Chains A and B, each alone.
Chain A
Amino acid sequence: SAVISQKPSRDICQRGTSLTIQCQVDSQVTMMFWYRQQPGQSLTLIATANQGSEATYESGFVIDKFPISRPNLTFSTLTVSNMSPEDSSIYLCSVEEYGYTFGSGTRLTVV
């Protein structure tokens, strides 16, 4: 299965700022998925990113808040914009290759 590298692994950010999370995959994949996992909770899909097209956002998530880039078949970024403490979560990217594989996540704390 694919190996996913996610950066940063954790960060503490001031409210009102933005953080860009990077996801690098060791193989070419069509779809990349971004999830949010709030503390002690389950995973919620934020958006699906296909190379060469606009990301598709789930209900409750908007592009202005979570802009996504997908410049090629092995890389994607998720930006969490204008952060508030409610954005404190683990953000995970995922790809589908012989099953859905997840990165180790970015643990974001907004103060």
Chain B
Amino acid sequence: QQQVKQSPQSLIVQKGGISIINCAYENTAFDYFPWYQQFPGKGPALLIAIRPDVSEKKEGRFTISFNKSAKQFSLHIMDSQPGDSATYFCAARTQWEGNEKLTFGTGTRLTIIP
């Protein structure tokens, strides 16, 4: 129940296209859903995040779509660029009794081809 399922495992998109990565969860106690971008040799960097009372959030070329009833959320990268080639992780947070924890998806390796 603590899992976050992420798909696809890898994705190849042409430059200028839309990259879409999906995540699904079971635990309704998750209250915060961030997306991270990780380049080789670097730590994950927070891209964008959403709370479950919002269905969509957009920041520049990055959009999160959130479907609470389906327990799914997705990252859309518009006008994908070669510099977007990286591994992307979705995550979900639980909080309880003064504790908190992020549970990560398995990651998607995105490659943008010219």
Contacts and interface: CB of A to CB of B under 8 A. Distances in A.
Contacts, number: 48
B49 interface: yes
Given A42-B89, A99-B34, A48 B104 contact: no
Nearest to A44: B104
Tier of interface size on chain B: 20 to 34
Contacts of B101: 45, 48, 58
Given A100-B46, A101-B46, A43 B100 contact: no
B42 A104 contact: yes
Given A43-B89, A99-B34, A104-B41, 6 more contacts: A1-B46, A42-B89, A44-B104, A56-B99, A99-B46, A102-B45
26 contacts: A4-B43, A31-B100, A42-B104, A42-B105, A42-B106, A42-B107, A43-B89, A43-B102, A45-B102, A45-B103, A48-B100, A48-B101, A58-B101, A92-B43, A96-B100, A99-B34, A100-B91, A101-B46, A102-B36, A102-B43, A102-B44, A102-B45, A103-B43, A104-B41, A104-B43, A105-B42
